[in-house]
Structures are given as C-alpha cells and as structure tokens.
Amino acid sequence: MSEERQIQLEVLRYNPETDSQPRYQTYTVPCVNEWVVLDALNYVKENLDPTLSYRWSCHMAVCGSCGYMINGEPKLGCKAFIHEYGDHIRVEPLANFPIERDLVTVVEDFIAKLASVKPYLIPKEDKPISAGEFRQTPAELKKYKQYTLCINCMLCYAACPQYGLVPEFLGPAAISMAHRYNQDSRDGGRDQRQEVVATDEGVWECSFVGACSEVCPKHVDPAGALQQVKVASTIDWYKEHLMPWVKK
Amino acid sequence: MEIIKTDVAIVGAGGAGLRAAIALAEADPKLRIALISKVYPMRSHTCAAEGGAAGVIKSDDSLDLHFNDTVGGGDWLCDQNAVEYFINEAPNELMQLEHWGCPWSREPDGSVAVRPFGGMKIKRTWFAADKSGFHILHTLFQTSLKYPSIQRFDEYYAIDLLVDDGRCQGLTALEIRSGEMRQFQAGAVIIAAGGAGKMFPFTTNGAIKTGDGMALAYRAGVPLKDMEFVQYHPTGLPNNGILLTEGCRGEGGILVNKHGRRYLQDYGMGPETPVGQPVLKTMELGPRDRLSQSFWHEQRKGNTVSTPWGECVLLDMRHLGEKKINERLPLVRDLCISYLNMDPVKEPIPIRPVVHYCMGGIHTDIKAATPVPGLFAAGECACVSINGANRLGSNSLTELLVFGRRAALSAIEHLQSSPSASNDPALSAQARASEDRIRALFDQSAGTETVAGLRKEMMHTMEENAGIYRTGEELQRACEKIAELRGRYANLALTDKSKVFNTDLMQALELGSMLDCAETVAVGARDRTESRGAHQRLDFTARDDQNFLKHTLAYHHPKEPPRIEYLDVVITKSQPGVRDYSGAKK
C-alpha cells in the first residue's frame, strides 16, 4: 500500500520573462504508490525546484484548481493516481488555454463565458424571504441536480475539439450551467439565457464529439445538457416559425 | 504604483466575502465594491464544507434550543449576545440562499430537509447532499455575477492594510499574474479570508488556508482572539486528512475501536444507542472536541487499529445501505473509494481526528467591527465570537452568511458616518513602504533559510506540542520554537526571482502569515491554564471559570512574542454549566 517507486515527471516549463517558447523539464520523484500526480508536483516544489508554478488547493477534487494535461489527457492533478501510470508521466497545462507560466493558464475567457449565460436564478415569481421557500420536490431537484455539480475545472474545454478550433464557442460548462438554471423549477429566465445560448457561438457550434462528458471528473455530462438544449431550441424555432399560434 | 479607488474593499471571496459583496451591491447599487482574492472565488475553501448549515426552520425546533446547543457546545466561551444575533438571523440567510437557487435537499412535500448533526438537540442542519459548502459557494459566486458594481480582483494577494488618521483606508495587494503592487484606497475594508489550518501538517484544510487575513489584521494592530482553540474534526481519512462529514454520523454511522466496541460510551456519551438509530446529542452525535479527545484516550489504551497511515478507529456505515449512502453521502463514498480504495457500503473506514477549524480569529464585536474603525471581518478568519471553545458542526456555513452580511451593513454605516477625505500622500507613503518590504524579501540573496524547510519545522512543532492534549512544558517549547522560526524567517531566500505568477514568493508570504498565527496559538494555549472545549491541558484538567471565563487577546509585536490581554465573555442568559452529551440524562 505504501510501497515506493521512482517516476520520471516531465513537466512543461514556460516563464514569459525568460523563455521564448515552452520547454520540458524532467524530475526524478520517489512516489508512494497511493499518491496522485499533484503529490508528485508538490514533492518537486518542496524538494527539488521551488520555481515550478501550478495552481492547487483542496486536494479532494472539489475546488477545481488543479486541471492539467496528464499524458495528454485533461485530468485533475489530485485525482490522477500514480499507480494508474507507468514510470514516466508528462504534465502540461490545460490545452486550449494560453499559458501564463508553467502549468498555470489564463482562464479569463472561461470565466467571462460562464458569466455571460446568466448563471443565477431568475425567479418565475417574486416572493419575499418571509414567505418561506419555493417548494421543490425531490423529483424536481433531480431534474437539474447533476448540472449543479460542475466545479469549473475547465477539463471539458481542454478536451473540446470545437473550442480549440473556434475560441468564440461558449463551451460545455457554460452551456450546461445555463441548462442547470433552465431546468430548475424555481426559474423563469430561460428566454434571457437563450439569447446567448441558442446562437451560432452557443449550442449550435457543438459538433457532439462528447469528449467533454468523458473527461468530466464530476459526471456532470455536459454533452447530454448540450443535446437537450439543442432539442429544446429546435422546438422553440418550430413553434416560432411554423406554429406561431402555439405559445413557447 | 497604480491606485484603485473604491468604497469597500473585501479581502477574500469565499462564502463570507461573496455574501458581503452581494449585501453591499443590494444595499446601494452606486457603491464601488472591490472583491480581492488570492484565488478565483470558486476555489475558496468554503467549497470543501460538506455537512450543512444550521438554522431553525422546523416547527419542533426553537431559537432557544439552537442558542443552548451553541453556547453549551462552545463550553460557555461564546459571547451570548453574538449567538443570539446569529441564531435569529440564521433562518433568513438560509432561506435567502434558497431564493438564490441553492439546491438544498428536500422533503417529499418540497420543503427544505434538515439532518441531525453532532451536539445539536434537534435536527436543524440544512444540507445539499454532502456538498453543502460547495453549493453555497457556487450559488453565491453565480449570484454575485448579477451585480456589475462588484468588481473582482481575482488572484491578488493582500499585503498590508493602510491605516491612517486612526482608521483603515485601504490596503496594498500584489497582482499575482504580473507581480505588480496595487494600492486600493477604500472607505472601509472587510477581511473574509478564511482560517489557518495549514499551520498543522495533518488537516482537512486546503493549501490556501494560511491565515493571511488574520495576519493582515494582526500586523495592523488588531488583536487575534482565542487562537488557542483549534478544532480537530474526529473523522478524517488517515492518509491525507480528507474530511468525512459529520453527516456520516448524523445519518447513522457508528465509531468502533479495534475490539468492535462503540467506545464513546466509555467517555460520558453513552449509553450505547441502537445501530442505525442515532440519538441526538448522544454517542456519535456528541460534539467534535469530545469525540476527538476520546480517540486520543483510545490510542493511549491501545484500542486503536494500526494502519499503514498510523493509528485509527473505524467509521462503520455499512448498515445505512447503498441507496442511502448514494443519496445522502455520495461525496463521502467517492472520496473513500478514490483516496483509500475502500467502499463504505462494504467495509468500515479507518479514520482519525484531523485539524479542521480555527475557533479564534480577528477580534470583532457583534457588528463584525474590529477595534480599528473602518476595518471589519467575517467568517473563519474572524472571532465574533459565536463558536467559543468548540464550534458546533454546521454553524460555520451559517456564520459566513450572517456575519458576511453584517460586515457589509456595518461597512455602509461606517461610510455614512466617517469623513471621506483621505490624506493621499500619507497612504501612498505607507503603500510604498509595503512595496519595499516585499521587494526586500524578493531581492534578499544572502539568506540561507527555505520556505519548505521553515514550514516543515513549524508544522512539526504545532503537531507535537499544540495538538488535542497539551502540557505547559510542550507549549513553552512551541512558543520558543515558533519565536525562533519567526527570527529565522528574516533570513529567508527565494529561489524564484521572476515576477509572473511567482508561487515561491506567495508561499513565503503565506508562511509569514502562518508563523504569526501559530505563535498566537502557542502563547494563548500556554497561558490558558485550564481545560475548556478544544483546549485540553493535561496539567490543568478542569475548566476554570473563576480565572478563564475570558477571551484571550493577542497583540502583535514585530520582534517579540505577542502581548496577551483578556476580555470577559458576554453572558446574557446562560450561566456556565455542565456539558451533557449523555442520552441517559434528560
């Protein structure tokens, strides 16, 4: 359980002040088998090279800080177990994002996209706090619960071929967050969100490769959300254009 | 140096900081709000809270019961006027979150569900499965996006408060991406920057919990209060300290030693209750301090289970069944399987107590105001104090909301009542001094100490000498060692000399914060010659209300150990009594 093994940890390094382009640096790390890749990075930081930069915090897959490409796949560093890899592990910053330094990426684009879909409750009806809670049955909760589990780790953006090609694409996490509120029985804001989501840069940009759902560490299934939004948006279109007498 | 003018600057964008920002934006859309955090808001450690948030909502509950549980749970070190305010506001705040879309777990009729928690006489913990803190944080963050007046400064590390003319008027902060210093001029500052659990090696706390906000206020002359009270959560995974929520026991999980005995009955929390039928305030639903202390005794008696990660007891949840575990404790199951390769549906999980929460913090009154006008604090970094000597599980998430909002209201009152003119040259001079201090640390090349080396010594010192049970001798050793480390800190050399995202520098600054906090823990604990709540002395085993029904106030000194003063606890209606967690007595 606690046996040790040496791995070669190959890490992408880039310092914009001194490097004209990224390079790789390999560290020899004695690992306990139950470690995760983040533990190996922390070993390097503490014992071998204090200049290595990367984000991390909770070490329990809930804060979403430590997404990296690990052997080419987007993973959380705190949930990528050493024992699942061979003796050579390559760690790079998340794909499809500009590199700020080493494993740290520039994430403003994602944050702006998340904000653009109005990811907050737009209540159907005004109700003072004193009137108590909006009733919501367990079945109604279940309808959107899965989409609330997104930790904003951005692995789905790193996996999405379309986001790589068309940076304007809203992307999986932002669209599933819109879907999360649209599906909430307390919410009445879908029309407002559709203005952003049902556009060329929104849901119609998705080519349904499904990579987002495969890499999601929280099983949010953004691809499923995207498909549901597409279907609902199509129905909207038909209702509007072919059956104008039917209310949306 | 760029100057950013704002009305209120908030340091920290977790639960308390976001709640304060929203309260400010709602109160007056014209207010300029600067929300400054060393991480993006959703990375804040509020996200790791699992169990839930306490607030009276059900008809079988009452505010008095919540009051009594909190004050007794805190071993009568709580300020009772603060507790009264807290429990009165709690239900509204939790309801407000419901109206903002928080996915609280529900009863079949659609009302909000509550679950039992340790030390609570009635079920009153609102929960969102076992990801309550995560959902609270994301609900607040997402709701904050509605307000254009909340201007975020993500990944800015606060360096020094600017205090002139006897009032706090802003702060300096380092933009981590560029390494550039900024001066924030603000009519009021709210610190909501979390706890300092990382001064210990074995903790549920994330890497960012380094006491920066506490140290920020402390260095500016605000005392840190009751820092010797550090909570151990009784159920952490033994290999990495990951938290398994108290909800595990609330839902009916039991604790057994290596003989299979439910040992809590041997420590005044019996009689044994039927498996799977938890009785409130009894056995596994005793308070955290008592449970963690029982573990210590079991280990001494040789009743613990030896594992590759040290001595443990077992948390057995098998009788709850797969369906209930998946519905109520999905994260717990995932964490056990992922990090221990053990499934709580099929086997008991080895656990041990782990450092979890700082009851102490920045001294504030019940309006979240510190003694420095214009400076307010809320959340784990603050000590109001509602948690006393031992916080009850599920009070801290509620505390973020109640006092985050209260700090915002107090900041507005301050803006309205104080002169708005500032002495800009004086502030700029302070800001330059702050920048020089960081530059000196940055440029120092002759130093021989390393961040990792000093940090390791600090953690080791705290674990060995300031843990669950303490002695005067060990605490004295801790005081001397931390003082020594503070001295050696001046001889620190950074390896990383670049400006862009320099985490070597960040960690050096965080280490400085932790050393400041650690010293207040050690000195406060050494001088408190009694046992109360989470502070247990082997050489002074009884509670001493004669001499220590008092808060410890630690005042900073740049070179010397902190100066300690005491402040009487506020008692309104509950006189100190016996903490009773035995189901036998009614």
Do both B361 and B332 map to the same domain?
no
Mean pLDDT along residues B464-472? 97
- B249 an active-site residue? yes
Predicted pLDDT at A248 = 46
Question: Is the domain of B417 the same as that of B440?
Answer: no
The pLDDT of A90-107, averaged and rounded, is 98
For residues B142 and B222, membership in a common domain is answered with: yes
* Same domain, residue pair B348 and B407: no
* Confidence bin at A4 (pLDDT 50/70/90): confident
| B242 and chain A in contact, CB less than 8 A | yes
Task: Write down all domains in chain A, each with its CATH number in brackets.
Answer: 4-105 (3.10.20.30), 108-241 (1.10.1060.10)
Is the pLDDT confidence value at A1 over 50? no
Of A199-208, B24-33, B138-147, B397-406, the range with the lowest mean pLDDT is A199-208
Check which CATH number belongs to the domain holding B306 and give it.
Answer: 3.90.700.10
Q: Give residue B67's pLDDT.
A: 97
Please report whether residue B65 resides in a domain: no
State how far residue B179 is from chain A, nearest Cα, in angstroms.
12
pLDDT category, A2, cuts 50, 70, 90?
Answer: low
CA–CA gap between residue B194 and residue B13 (Å, rounded): 9
Q: Is residue B485 part of a domain?
A: yes
> What residue in A sits closest to B494 (Cα-Cα)?
A50
Whether residue B36 sits in one domain with residue B174: yes
Each residue's pLDDT tens digit, B516-528: 999 999 999 999 9
Give yes or no for a contact between A62 and A69, defined as CB atoms under 8 angstroms apart: no
- Domain stops at, among B395, B421, B447: B421
Say if residue B342 is in the same domain as residue B417.
no
Do the chains contact at A100 and B177, CB–CB below 8 Å? yes
Percent of chain B's residues with pLDDT above 70 = 99
Task: For A176-199, give the DSSP string.
Answer: HHHHHHHT-TTB--HHHHHHHHSS
pLDDT recorded at residue B446: 81
Residue that finishes a domain, picked among B405, B421, B437: B421
User: Quick one: pLDDT at residue B543?
Assistant: 97
Q: What is the CATH number of the domain that holds B31?
A: 3.50.50.60
Pair B464, B536 in one domain:
yes
- Mean pLDDT value across residues A154-177: 96
Is B546 among the domain residues?
yes
* Helix H or strand E encompassing B114: strand B114-115
Strand partners, B536: B469
pLDDT of residue B194: 98
Residue A247 has a pLDDT of 53
d(Cα B202, Cα B557) in Å, to the nearest integer?
28
User: Are B460 and B559 in a shared domain?
Assistant: yes
Spatial neighbors of A32 by CB under 8 A, at least 6 apart, are A2, A3, A4, A39, A82
Q: Within a domain: residue B284?
A: yes
The amino acid present at B175, given as its one-letter code, is E
CB atoms within 10 A of CB B564: 16
Domain span at B28 = 2-50+132-231+357-421
pLDDT of residue B586: 46
One domain, residues B438 and B557? yes
**Tens digits of residue pLDDT in B97-136:** 999 999 999 999 999 999 999 999 999 999 999 999 999 9
pLDDT for A69 equals: 98
DSSP category for residue A46: I
Catalytic residue among B43, B124, B167, B233: B233
Comparing CB atoms, the residue among A52, A56, A100 nearest residue B500 is A100
Round to whole Å and give the CA distance between B245 and B243. 6
Residue B376 lies in a domain: yes
What gap in Å lies between CA B209 and CA B36, rounded to an integer? 16
> What is the pTM (predicted TM-score) of this model?
0.97
User: Under 8 Å CB-to-CB from B574, ≥6 apart: which residues?
Assistant: B67, B68, B71, B72, B76, B80
In this structure, the answer to whether residues B336 and B194 fall within a common structural domain is: no
R_g over Cα of chain B: 23
- Quickly state the pLDDT bin for B445 (edges 50, 70, 90): confident
**Total domains in the fold of chain B:** 3
- pLDDT score at B391: 96
Chain center to CA of B277: 30
Grouping H, G, I as helix, E, B as strand and the rest as coil, residue B345 is: coil
CATH, residue B543: 1.20.58.100
B251 found inside a domain: yes
Buried-exposed string B37-71: b where 16+ CB fall within 10 A, e elsewhere: bbbbbbbbbbbbbbbbbbbbbeeebeeebbbbbbb
- Closest chain A residue to B340 measured between Cα atoms? A34
pLDDT band at A238 (very low <50, low <70, confident <90, very high): confident
Per-residue pLDDT at A185: 97
Give the span between the Cα atoms of B57 and B114, in whole angstroms. Answer: 9
Q: Is residue B96 part of a domain?
A: no
Nearest CA in chain A to B177: A100
Residue B178 and residue B268 share a domain: no
pLDDT digits (tens, 9 = 90+) for A112-132: 999 999 999 999 999 999 999
Is B339 a domain residue? yes
CA distance B47 to chain A (A): 6
Cα–Cα nearest to A37, from A62, A58, A7? A7
- Looking at B379, B404, B421, the residue that finishes a domain is B421
Is the CB of residue B500 less than 8 Å away from at least one CB of chain A?
yes
Q: How far apart are CA B265 and CA B483, in angstroms?
A: 41
Same domain for B516 and B543? Answer: yes
Of the ranges B171-180, B276-285, B405-414, which one carries the lowest mean pLDDT score? Answer: B276-285
- Interface contact A50-B496, CB threshold 8 A: yes
